[in-house]
Each structure stands twice: as C-alpha cells, then as structure tokens.
Amino acid sequence: MMIRFSFPKALVALSLAFTLSACSKQSSAPEQVLPEAKNVLQTLTKANDYWQRENSEPGWAFWEHAAYHTGNMEAYYVTNHQPYLDYSMRWGEKNEWKGAKSDDRANWKYSYGETDDFVLFGDWQIAFQIYIDLYKITDDEKKIARAIEVMEYQMSTDAVDYWWWADGLYMVMPVMTKLYHVTGNELYLEKLHDYFIYAKSIMYDEETGLFFRDAKYVYPQHKSLNGHKDFWARGDGWVFAGLAKVLADLPKDHKHRDEYLKVYLRMAETLVGLQQPGGYWTRSLLDPEHAPGYETSGTAFFTYGYLWGINNGYLERERYLPVALNAWEYLTGVALQEDGKLGYIQPIGERAIPGQVVDANSTANFGVGAFLLAASEMYRLVK
C-alpha cells in the first residue's frame, strides 16, 4: 500500500505554475546548440584525470568509492582509455572482489553499518556492479563469485525490506539486473520487483512522483524549512539514475517493465519544473530557500537520467533536451573548475541541511562518478 499525504494546495499550484512557465520558456526559446563531441570528451577526461591523479590509491569497497567507479566504467566505455579500466581493476583487486567481507552468514545485517558484518546492506553491495562489468570484460569468474554468493543468499530469505533508503535503489537495483544477465536466473528480477515495491511503499509520494530519502523524512512528520515536503535532490538523483540503469538492462518484454518506466517518466516530468534558472537543482527540491545555491551531485544524476532517456527514446527530445542542456551548462560552466576539480558537491549525508556550506572546493568521489555518468551520456548523444 502506498503512503499518501496531503500536498498543500498552494504548493501544488506553485509547482504547476513553475512547470508550465518552464515549459513555455523552453518551447518558445531558440533551439539550443549541442556541445561538440570533442569538447564533451575533453571535459570528461579533464574531470576524471584530475580525480585519478589526486586519488591514486584505491579506496575501500563502500558506496562512495563504488559510486565513483560506476561512472568511471562508463567513462571507459566511451573513451576506451586503458588507465580508466586499470584504475577500477586495481580497486577491485584491493577489495578482493567483495563488499563487506564477513563469512558468518548468521551475523549478516542490512541496517546501516560500515563494518564487515553488514554484508546485506546495499551500500556494500554497489561494488558488485563494477565487479560484474569487469567480469564481462575479462571473463574471470572470481570477480563475481562473492556477488552471486551474497545476492543468492539474500534472495533465499523471506525478507523484502532490504532497500529502506532511497540511495539503495541505485546501489543494488542494477546489481540484480546485471546478475540476471550473467546467470539467467529469473529470481533476480522477481526479487528486484519485490524489494522495489517495498521501497515504494515507505518512501514514494504519489502526488509528486518523488521519493523521500527514507521513512523518517516522510511528510508531514518531517517538513522543510518553509513547511513543504522535503525531497532531497541527491536522494531522488540516486533513484532516477537507478531506474535508468534498470530500464537499460531489463528485458524489453518483462512483465514489470512498465511499472519501472511509469515511475521514471513521472520523475522526469516533475523534475522539469523544479530545475533552477541556472540549470541546477537545489538540495531540497520543493523548497529552494531551505538550502539555497548550487549542488552538483543531484544535478549530475538528473542530467544522466534525462540524457539516457533521450538517447534511448523514452523521453521526448524537444521537451527534455533543453533541461539536460541547461544542466550540462551548469555542470561544465560552474561546477567543473579550471584545474579539473568538480565543485559544489554536497558532502556525505542524507538530507538538505540549512546553512551547510557547499562551494567550489566541495568535491567528492561519488559526485565525480555522477558527473562521469552524465558526461558519458552527453557524449553518446552528440557523437
């Protein structure tokens, strides 16, 4: 059963007016010029080369590093640049092709935890996405042995509440579609649906089509600074990007495909009206004053989601390309610094925090990963 809450009528009217105004401006504006493919490639390599140069040693397998590597692998796919592949390969080898490393199944957990017994927690499982990609390149089964062990154990349980926070949809949904293709086991897609339905039941807002970060942020028990529903940009960015990845991998005729597509399209529609004139999205989507100013990670995930939809025929180019291009202008003209550092990334957290400083020096691996996803899709679009 979906959770439904009353959405203030004034805010509905304001959001609708904003959306209609944005659409009107886009339809009447002159056609926007696409960036040149060589410039997109230069921008992608500028950001990724800077990150790898400044962070030469591989990190642990937890989500923030793994999220970067999901972008790095896309950068490799579009550039065929061997050092990018080598960088992710070294990271996998350092982490022994595992997420959390406990072998004591009786103590495996999936609430929040950064220790090795939280094997079933999605922030450790996102690493499997990269290991699967590297397996497909090398055909080395040791890279996916742990992923299959963990996910098949998880699917053998009766629990469906594994994804209790919005980020988890990006962390693990693509793992399950990827392992379906590797193994041919239909159970991955059935359990994917079971877990997704649970996540929707506690976080999805029917009136806006957006996701609260987790159950404790659901309106009206939690409100933004000005009393609105508080949708965290990066949280919804994780979901929007995760849905794009699932739709990319899910069989075209799968019985649940339309369900994921409906949620993805609704998010795409809502987010148009919440984009700021400067091309970015604020940290609290419906309340820009809650935490005003630039933010890159959510914006980059939304940009990726839009460009993927345009590239694959799910989003109408005339309507959504101006949105993506405006966001790209922000990402490359404001967020990306001259030396290659990607700025204005909100630090690790779970909500929009009033007064938190996010500036040109605010950078993070997961935000760079999101930027690489967007840049790779932009390159596919213009190439």
Q: Supply the residues annotated as catalytic.
A: 167
Cβ burial of 49 (10 Å; 0-12, 13-18, 19+) is middle
Nearest-angstrom CA–CA distance, 290 and 231: 11
Residue 289 near residue 230 (C-beta atoms within 8 A): no
The beta strands (E) that lie in 134-254 are given as: 204-205, 210-211
* 3-state SS class at 336: strand
Tokens of 351: 């909500």
Tokens of 369: 């990963």
Q: Which residues contact 243 (CB under 8 A, 6 or more apart)?
A: 169, 173, 260, 263, 264, 267, 305
Whole-Å CA distances, 370 to 57, 126, 136, 301, 304: 20, 14, 22, 5, 8
The beta strands (E) that lie in the chain are given as: 204-205, 210-211
